[in-house]
Structure 1
């Protein structure tokens, strides 16, 4: 069984996947890992590209396909439940996340100790448009002000999470933006790692500024309500007598 499962949620990223897989293979050289590409209802050549890539790769390359698009968060959920590794590392399929940071996130999580449930990438030198950067900066400030998750950038797709903890999180269309708060809710801490963002190589973003902003505001209210209505999960220890 692999130690690490790298989950790539993607929709219509056929042109970006081969190079991304090259980079993952180089970054993870010498480690025991698998890659799970969650094809979120793509209408491009993703299926044929992955069939060809699976025959070439020295590491296990698995292809999960959603019949219809369900969004990034539910794609991560599908990958989490399919994962064979004890740690799930996530990375976006558009090439903007650099795979060289995956080992750093994994090692940071392992070295942080058992009280830590996840490591979260935080982007430097954002490559998005200025308006997207400003919108993201405001959204992160508002989220942290309300949820107190002490995370500068939760939208970064680079994360490493213990698989059993990831499977416990509530999943909805937007979970990926609230992973630190939800991990803290489960009674664990989050370690942060700075990463450098890149420009998209091919295609265009599947997400707009205003639709993402409106959905994010609704999700923020929902996560706030969840945290108000549910106490932080206690750690239960069995006491044996006799």
Structure 2
């Protein structure tokens, strides 16, 4: 009998959009990670309106384990919405994030979790990236422009390996594209961040959802949206009540 009410310390959000070719590997990688890690963690799949067989595979994975859970969104809303849905439905003290293409490995969550109490956000820096030249260059350009606009000090904000204190994650203002600004959004809350080198792997299956246009134009536009939001960000602290 599967008991879904175990106590966990970390919920790992795994957004899924048409990744049926990767789902078995995701299950195997996380099952191995759960068996080896000293931290009690679970996976929350967020199916962002997949049109392939991803949902059926997610359901099969979840019914056979007490470490896997899922949310299914009504349609494809985009990565920011999928991450926010995961944050909104997290009940553990810490929440993590990793892409379903597994170009980073869940085993490196243990490196981030070591610093979970001291920092609001612990984020990876991908080492020896296994991406194409175009992908690496567009990412470098977009990261440089983002750092100039936000002053967030993050070297690799696009790294999909993060651990956040849930109280900070739930308070982040989110709209389309804001997944690119998680370090900056944490700093708006006066939270401190730490960056840890993590491993990076080539995509083995499935297709990348981003190309040159949306890797450059989208982030540039979103930087101005962030600047607009930052000027109007409401930040208060209650110092007394009765």
Give TM-score scaled by structure 1 length: 0.90
Q: Give the structure 1 partner of residue 124 of structure 2.
A: 121
For residues 139-150 of structure 1, what are the structure 2 equivalents within 5 Å? 139-150=142-153
Q: Give the structure 2 partner of residue 173 of structure 1.
A: 176
Number of matched residues? 234
Q: Give the structure 2 partner of residue 38 of structure 1.
A: 46
Q: Give the structure 2 partner of residue 25 of structure 1.
A: 31
- Of 217, 220, 232, 2:220 maps to 217
- Of 187, 190, 208, 1:187 maps to 190
**Alpha carbons of 1:206 and 1:237: their partners in 2 closer, same or farther (altered >3 Å)?**
same
- Measure how far apart 1:239 and its partner are: 8.2
Tell me how far apart the structure 2 counterparts of residues 38 and 197 of structure 1 sit (CA, whole Å).
23
- Measure how far apart 1:79 and its partner are: 0.8
- Measure how far apart 1:33 and its partner are: 2.0
- Is residue 2:19 matched to residue 1:13? yes
Report if aligned partners of 1:120, 1:191 keep a CA contact under 8 Å in 2.
yes
**Alpha carbons of 1:239 and 1:67: their partners in 2 closer, same or farther (altered >3 Å)?**
closer
Unaligned segments of structure 1, at least 5 residues: none
Paired residue secondary structure (2:57): helix
CA offsets, 1:16-49, max 9 Å, x none?
Answer: 1222222223223343222110011111111221
- Measure how far apart 1:131 and its partner are: 1.1
Q: Give the structure 2 partner of residue 55 of structure 1.
A: 63
Report if aligned partners of 1:89, 1:106 keep a CA contact under 8 Å in 2.
no
- Of 5, 10, 20, 1:4 maps to 10
Paired residue secondary structure (1:27): helix
Unaligned segments of structure 2, at least 5 residues: 1-6
Q: Give the structure 2 partner of residue 89 of structure 1.
A: 96
RMSD: 1.7
